[in-house]
Chain A
Amino acid sequence: MSEPILSVRDLSVSFPSEYGTVHAVQDLSYEVHKGEALAIVGESGSGKSVSSLAVMGLLPRTATISGEIEMLGHRMFELDDKQLSRLRGNTISMVFQDPLSALTPVYRVGQQIAEVVRIHHPEISKARAHQRAVELLDAVGIPEPGRRAEQYPHEFSGGMRQRAMIAMSIANEPELIIADEPTTALDVTIQAQVMDLLKSAQELIGAATVLITHDMGVVAGFADRVLVMKDSRMVELGTVDEIFYTPREQYTRDLLAAVPRADVDGATESRSVAGSAMQKLAEVGGTEGERPPREELPTVLEVEDLVKVFPIIKGAIVRRKVGEQRAVDGISFDIREGECLALVGESGSGKTTTLMEIMQLRTPQEGVIRIGGKETGALTRKERAALRSDITVVFQDPMAALDPRMPIADIIKEPMRVQGYSKQHMDERVDWLLSMVGLLPEHAARFPTEFSGGQRQRVGVARALACDPKLIVLDEPTSALDVTVQAGVLAMLADLRARLGVSFLFVSHDLSVVRHISDRIAVMQKGRIVELGDTEDVFTDPQHPYSQELLSAVPIPDPEVARSRRRESIDRSAFEGSSGDSLPDPEGAQ
């Protein structure tokens, strides 16, 4: 094997805090060779980002660092900031997680790329640098690169911005690209395109890549070698096939098994503790056979031709409508008792607007919403208040959904207090609800900050269950959680559904998550439901081209499958011509 480009030896990073020293990275050693793709995988807080910031020399000055990082013969810790700046952007470059905040909003995209070129090669003229920027934008598959270079970041869609970031990172043909969760903020179809592009860019300039991610599916299609991290230490380092097919450590197995897979049925695939959670989920989900047929069950929620249009208004003094955004465009579905309907679509497809329209309990702009047979528009104030306990919501972000200033007992009691429960009844129910969602009754006096993300989401579910609802609306309940935690929360939800017979409306952008929990799937695109059917039918035989596209874009945590998929897509794009043409117009995405 060739000489390593980057070698990290015994790296330890620690930060001082109110609680004593926090060790963010401990005794981490790895090497990256020329042209190689190394993936660093771990859950949040495992130290993967801190270790790469150390490589860039970007840690805050409070950090205590020991060990050695050697990059092409430079010892990084012996360089001062000026010398490091010469390396950054030229020899090492970085792609950040959030492409919106990584680009400066007040400069044109072309200028920002040209700037990277000019900083390291001041001899290049402005015009030449601009030309190079346009070439780079073309190389990363942005249509009309000349016009696009003159635009500002807010005129780009998320995927385009990340492409621009990649263009910037390859501008000076660096030896090493560090990509820190480059696709986490993107939709699944865009994610597939961006990962493809990153792979091609890496092959194009022969750079080594360090990919930091929590998503095993992304790793399978990209990396040559994988480093698994947990709790600031390295767990395992091996080639991608070794890690995926013959993992040595229990943690690696847990991590792999916890990944929900869109391509296999959960029951056949269980290798570990986390896997058995997914299996449990599949078992619970698999008991539907005993239930009476769907048509005989009472309807909990019925939505008919729901329309929500947002006017686009211009002018400060004289307001006039210049157009309209049809966020929800005539959708209809119904949910029966004890059923779980998954509403799947990418960002901007109108999923959240649909939820908000249902939760408002008001007359929609057009169409009808019926809850338990009652039309929401015809409710009196009193009926509406009573109905609030029948339909509850669990939000996406467990950090934002709980008031940080209230102990969780009060948080859970809040809906009951509104419905006028007695004090003793509430206390009893809080204990029962907490144990129902897998927490201890003793936790009731604590504040939300003392809990981890998964636990907070459990508190959110407990609050939603407080008044025996008929329907719980789940707005991406697991998208902010780590995979192993996500598996636990999903298993809990499936268990609750089986035990309490409550119906779910489960909104998600991730098809692999909904596979095991939902009975039926509604695929949304641009405010319309393009496909609605039983989960198995949609997965095995998707009818609408958009459903097919969504399914094929889900990353599969299996290197063999991922490689063969990639070969197929290369063959297809060679057949169809340049891949850039098939990109969606970003104006439409905005």
Chain B
Amino acid sequence: MTNPNDIRGTEDASALRRRTDPDANPVMGATVDDPVLQATEIDESAGPAIESLGRGELLRRRFLRNPSAWVGMVIFLALVLLAVIGPIVYQYGPFERDLRNALTGPSAYHWFGVNENGLDIFARTMQGLRISLVIGIGTALLTTFLALVVGIVAGYVSHKGKAGALADGALVNLINLFLVIPSILLLMLFSPALQQASWLWMIPLLAGFAWMLTARVLRAMTQQLVRTEYVEAARFMGVHPIVTMVRHIIPNIASWIIIDTTLGVSAAILGETGLSFIGFGIQYPQVSLGTVLQDYNISAPYTWIPPAAVLAALVISINLMGEALRDALDPTSGSSRI
């Protein structure tokens, strides 16, 4: 799905429908295209004009027709509710020790059991879920923003003469530079230091090493759009470049950006939990799903199955929604069939 003009469904269908059902839609279509110049004598009361499905409406229908979209949304919403309500109603906090019950399985008091340090696993999992959700969504949004700025600027200026080509080259080299530096080492180096200030530093840190591929794709899509006649037309009208970018380019690649952001959430969550698991991500006094998993005891499955299952459910539900969105936006995919 790299072609921003991929959606043709609305247009084709409305054109066909106009031809198929002339009685219902007599106003538009045939009448105005009538070779005789008729300015205003079209009868208003003859019937409603074609109400072709808007793009949003079409997308919504295709999205909701996909069962995996429903599964993903239900799981995701359930997890969000759990993360919000869980810690409020549950009687134990993530750092309250109950050493008498250390390393005991699920019970009426400790729903997921207690680990060997006497910490309640349900409480920690819910707290970790909160943190992971915030970091995942925040990172995805910031990544998209960075990619949008670099990608669109690079794509737009690449056609504007020698200076533009130079600027584009510099930005592409910046992308390449970020791609080749060993991000995992830098993340390990910086994250404990920045954690001293706030755990929210994880968001810019993760985003700083995740925007490059999206930026490249956005650059290519922008280059394609800059060559279209409506962008050319805007240039010939003297529209300011930044206005052109905001008004003409971003809306036309918005669908791709939305998909990429959705899938970026799960990637960011996996990155953060992975770092936390090896001890470089979220630090005390915060917990993430990764740090919960870190306290595993292989012989007591209840210490690691609940956080792992929550993590898997979270990532899978986001990916299901992302895939369903992609299918809805892609006219050649199965969801366009009825």
User: What chain A residues lie within 8 Å of B52 (beta carbons)?
Assistant: 449-450
1/0 per residue B7-35: CB within 8 Å of A? Answer: 00111011111111010000011001111
Least Cβ distance of A560 to chain B in Å? 26
Instruction: Give chain A interface residues in 135-186, CB to chain B under 8 Å.
Output: none
Q: How far is the CA of A359 from the CA of B236 in the complex (A)?
A: 7
Indicate if the CB atoms of A18 and B36 lie closer than 8 Å: no
Q: How far is the CA of A450 from the CA of B10 in the complex (A)?
A: 8
Among A406, A414, A442, A443, which residue has its beta carbon within 8 angstroms of that of B239?
A: A414
Give the contact stretch, choosing among B37-45, B109-117, B295-303. B37-45
Kindly report which residue of chain B lies nearest to residue A485, judged by CB atoms: B33
Indicate if the CB atoms of B229 and A45 lie closer than 8 Å: no
Give the contact stretch, choosing among A76-84, A96-104, A288-296, A395-403. A395-403
User: What chain A residues lie within 8 Å of B39 (beta carbons)?
Assistant: 435, 438
Indicate if the CB atoms of B35 and A395 lie closer than 8 Å: no
Indicate if the CB atoms of A405 and B53 lie closer than 8 Å: no
Q: Does A23 have its Cβ within 8 Å of any Cβ on chain B?
A: yes
Q: Does A331 have its Cβ within 8 Å of any Cβ on chain B?
A: no
Kindly report which residue of chain A lies nearest to residue B7, judged by CB atoms: A404
Least Cβ distance of A25 to chain B in Å? 12
User: What chain A residues lie within 8 Å of B35 (beta carbons)?
Assistant: 254, 258, 273-274, 276-277, 484-485, 487-488, 491
Q: How far is the CA of A438 from the CA of B40 in the complex (A)?
A: 7
Indicate if the CB atoms of B236 and A452 lie closer than 8 Å: no
Indicate if the CB atoms of B14 and A450 lie closer than 8 Å: yes
Indicate if the CB atoms of B237 and A418 lie closer than 8 Å: yes
Q: Does B159 have its Cβ within 8 Å of any Cβ on chain A?
A: no
User: What chain A residues lie within 8 Å of B38 (beta carbons)?
Assistant: 438
Q: Does A297 have its Cβ within 8 Å of any Cβ on chain B?
A: no
Among B10, B18, B230, B237, which residue has its beta carbon within 8 angstroms of that of A392?
A: B237
Indicate if the CB atoms of B13 and A401 lie closer than 8 Å: no
User: What chain A residues lie within 8 Å of B232 (beta carbons)?
Assistant: 395
Q: Does A388 have its Cβ within 8 Å of any Cβ on chain B?
A: yes
Q: How far is the CA of A443 from the CA of B39 in the complex (A)?
A: 13
Kindly report which residue of chain B lies nearest to residue A483, judged by CB atoms: B35
Kindly report which residue of chain B lies nearest to residue A436, judged by CB atoms: B39
Q: Does A495 have its Cβ within 8 Å of any Cβ on chain B?
A: yes
Give the contact stretch, choosing among B88-96, B244-252, B312-320. B244-252
1/0 per residue B221-248: CB within 8 Å of A? Answer: 0000000111011101111100000011
- Given A232-B20, A447-B54 in contact, is the A454-B33 Cβ separation under 8 Å? yes
Among A258, A403, A449, which residue has its beta carbon within 8 angstroms of that of B10?
A: A449
Indicate if the CB atoms of A403 and B248 lie closer than 8 Å: yes
Indicate if the CB atoms of B29 and A18 lie closer than 8 Å: no
User: What chain A residues lie within 8 Å of B28 (beta carbons)?
Assistant: 450-452, 455
Q: Does B134 have its Cβ within 8 Å of any Cβ on chain A?
A: no
Q: How far is the CA of A388 from the CA of B240 in the complex (A)?
A: 12
Indicate if the CB atoms of A395 and B229 lie closer than 8 Å: yes
Indicate if the CB atoms of A19 and B13 lie closer than 8 Å: yes
Kindly report which residue of chain B lies nearest to residue A14, judged by CB atoms: B20
Q: Does B58 have its Cβ within 8 Å of any Cβ on chain A?
A: yes
Indicate if the CB atoms of B15 and A488 lie closer than 8 Å: no
Indicate if the CB atoms of A22 and B20 lie closer than 8 Å: yes
Instruction: Give chain A interface residues in 407-461, CB to chain B under 8 Å.
Output: 414-415, 418, 435, 438-440, 442-443, 446-447, 449-452, 454-455, 458
Q: How far is the CA of A491 from the CA of B37 in the complex (A)?
A: 7
User: What chain A residues lie within 8 Å of B22 (beta carbons)?
Assistant: 231
- Interface size grouping (class) on chain B: 35 or more
Q: Tell me the number of A-to-B contacts counted with CB atoms below 8 Å.
A: 142
User: What chain B residues lie within 8 Å of A276 (beta carbons)?
Assistant: 35-36
User: What chain B residues lie within 8 Å of A447 (beta carbons)?
Assistant: 54
Q: Does B100 have its Cβ within 8 Å of any Cβ on chain A?
A: no
Indicate if the CB atoms of B238 and A385 lie closer than 8 Å: yes
- Given A392-B237, A454-B33 in contact, is the A449-B247 Cβ separation under 8 Å? no
Q: Does A463 have its Cβ within 8 Å of any Cβ on chain B?
A: yes
Indicate if the CB atoms of B236 and A392 lie closer than 8 Å: yes
Least Cβ distance of A124 to chain B in Å? 37
Kindly report which residue of chain B lies nearest to residue A416, judged by CB atoms: B237
Q: Does A280 have its Cβ within 8 Å of any Cβ on chain B?
A: yes
Indicate if the CB atoms of B37 and A488 lie closer than 8 Å: yes
Indicate if the CB atoms of A400 and B238 lie closer than 8 Å: no
- Most chain A CB neighbours (cut-off 10 Å) among B17, B42, B237, B251: B237
Indicate if the CB atoms of A492 and B13 lie closer than 8 Å: no
1/0 per residue A1-31: CB within 8 Å of B? Answer: 0000000000000001111001110000000
- Given A18-B338, A388-B238 in contact, is the A45-B228 Cβ separation under 8 Å? no
Kindly report which residue of chain A lies nearest to residue B231, judged by CB atoms: A403
Least Cβ distance of B147 to chain A in Å? 20
Instruction: Give chain A interface residues in 277-319, CB to chain B under 8 Å.
Output: 277, 280
Q: Does B337 have its Cβ within 8 Å of any Cβ on chain A?
A: yes
Least Cβ distance of B172 to chain A in Å? 15
Among B17, B33, B55, B230, which residue has its beta carbon within 8 angstroms of that of A455?
A: B33
Among B11, B33, B40, B337, which residue has its beta carbon within 8 angstroms of that of A62?
A: B337
Least Cβ distance of A48 to chain B in Å? 13
Q: How far is the CA of A477 from the CA of B49 in the complex (A)?
A: 26
Indicate if the CB atoms of B34 and A273 lie closer than 8 Å: yes
Among A258, A402, A435, which residue has its beta carbon within 8 angstroms of that of B230?
A: A402
Indicate if the CB atoms of A18 and B61 lie closer than 8 Å: yes
User: What chain B residues lie within 8 Å of A463 (beta carbons)?
Assistant: 233
Q: Does A243 have its Cβ within 8 Å of any Cβ on chain B?
A: no
Indicate if the CB atoms of A388 and B32 lie closer than 8 Å: no
Q: Top 3 nearest A-B pairs by Cβ distance?
A: A277-B35, A388-B238, A405-B251
- B residues neighboring A (CB under 8 Å): 5, 9-11, 13-20, 22, 28-29, 32-40, 42, 49-50, 52-55, 58, 61, 228-230, 232-234, 236-240, 247-248, 251-252, 337-338
6 further A-B pairs in the complex, CB-CB below 8 A; given A18-B58, A273-B36? A19-B14, A388-B237, A395-B233, A418-B238, A449-B14, A451-B28
20 pairs, A vs B, C-beta closer than 8 Å: A16-B337, A16-B338, A18-B13, A22-B13, A22-B20, A45-B15, A45-B19, A232-B19, A258-B35, A359-B236, A392-B236, A396-B229, A397-B229, A399-B11, A400-B229, A401-B229, A402-B230, A447-B54, A450-B28, A452-B33
